[in-house]
Amino acid sequence: MKFTVQRQQLIASVQDVMKAISPRTAIPILSGIKLEAGPNGITLTGSDSDISIESFIPAETDGMVYVEQIEAGSIVLQARYFSDIVRKLPEKTVDIETDNKFNVTIKSGKALFKLNGQDAGEYPQLPEVASSNSFDIPSDLLKNLIRQTGFAVSTMETRPILTGVNIELADGTLSFTATDSHRLAARSVPMENAQFSISNVVVPGKSLNELAKVLDDDDDNVQISITNNQILFQTSHLHFLSRLLDGNFPETARLIPEQSQTVIHVKTKDLINTIDRASLLAREERNNVVRLTTENKQDLHITSNSPEVGQASEEVQLQAVEGDDLKISFSAKYMLDALKVIENEDVRIEFTGAMRPFVLRPADDNSVLQLILPVRTY
């Protein structure tokens, strides 16, 4: 195998596939990066038991030459050393060459490295994912769906299914839902072109967070393909494969209240800043609890109280309020997480009582929903 590649393209691809490589893998060869050179360019692959990432560097795109002098072949290189070397090479191009004993020469300018490689034939074959159940979604929209839901997955392995995000496609609507049983985050978008339905596809939250890091911030399409136990996200230069979680995701629709006793409209940024300040004194508490009180249907009070530290109190101006006055306590962290993904100047919060779940939505958009369980205080 032999080729000359633009160093910046190589760095970007190495950084992408490194996100799938775990130093604690039980399969030694998976601690390496697989390089494969072919007539159209080079493919880098990284994998662990949960995700696999393939990054493709084309020989030429739009008149720009990225890889040249290609002699086909493949090799596996120790990921940690290879990534450090590539990052610190001095010139804009890198020459990589292997011999028949899996010795690899890496050259850039006057810098020369010789690495021991491994036979790429030993590297596990990635499973094929049929594209019959496929649909396309813009990359930036997919990143937004992940950002607005992924934070609410459970970090506890006691209920593994809750460590993932549930993806459903039905009646021309794509929905992402996550819950850790104390809060819920959901986002839906229209998908008129999808002629099939998907249910109970649960992708590990960690996989989606890594996917969001490697996707571009543009509106280029990502093709999503699903089989029984795998999901594949494909762009022109990237293949991201993740296992799916086994089990049935809970029926979350019944958790969302159908009626409300109190509805408030408030500036999102004002509420974020106020709760953030109030939580300064509540951070040492186990639940980081903050209390919200409405009075005379016009004032909103945010307070926190830590017996060892002190008290905080602040008023927030309401845009509008409907229904009864209310006192409710909640986790400041959960509230801030939810408010930060409300992409709207105004937020609408619907309460059904002091000990019932409450719902946050952008003031004029029902496609985003955040639900939080209150905290009982005595």
Using one digit for the tens of pLDDT, what is the confidence trace for 325-357? Answer: 999 999 999 999 999 999 899 999 999 988 999
Q: What is the pLDDT of residues 298-310, one digit of tens each?
A: 789 999 988 888 8
Burial (CB count within 10 angstroms: exposed 0-12, middle 13-18, buried 19+), residue 7? middle
pLDDT band at residue 285 under the 50/70/90 scheme: low
C-alpha 11, offset from chain centre: 22
The two three-digit tokens of residue 81, written as one number: 């050393």
Mean pLDDT of the chain: 93
Beta bridge partners of 60: 65
DSSP string, 68-82: EEEE-EEEEEEHHHH
22 vs 39: CA distance, rounded Å: 30
Burial (CB count within 10 angstroms: exposed 0-12, middle 13-18, buried 19+), residue 323? middle
In contact, 290 and 330? CB cutoff 8 Å: yes
The two three-digit tokens of residue 222, written as one number: 């990502």
- Report the pLDDT value the prediction gives residue 288, as an integer from 0 to 100: 86
The two three-digit tokens of residue 137, written as one number: 């979604």
- Report the pLDDT value the prediction gives residue 287, as an integer from 0 to 100: 64
188 vs 56: CA distance, rounded Å: 31
Predicted model pTM? 0.92
pLDDT band at residue 120 under the 50/70/90 scheme: very high
* Neighbouring C-beta atoms of residue 178, cutoff 10 Å: 28
- Report the pLDDT value the prediction gives residue 282, as an integer from 0 to 100: 77
In contact, 341 and 368? CB cutoff 8 Å: yes
Contacts for 283 with CB less than 8 Å, ≥ 6 apart: none
Domains identified in the chain and CATH numbers? 2-122 (3.10.150.10), 134-253 (3.10.150.10), 256-372 (3.70.10.10)
Instruction: Calculate Rg over the CA atoms of the chain.
Output: 25
Q: What is the DSSP letter of 31?
A: G
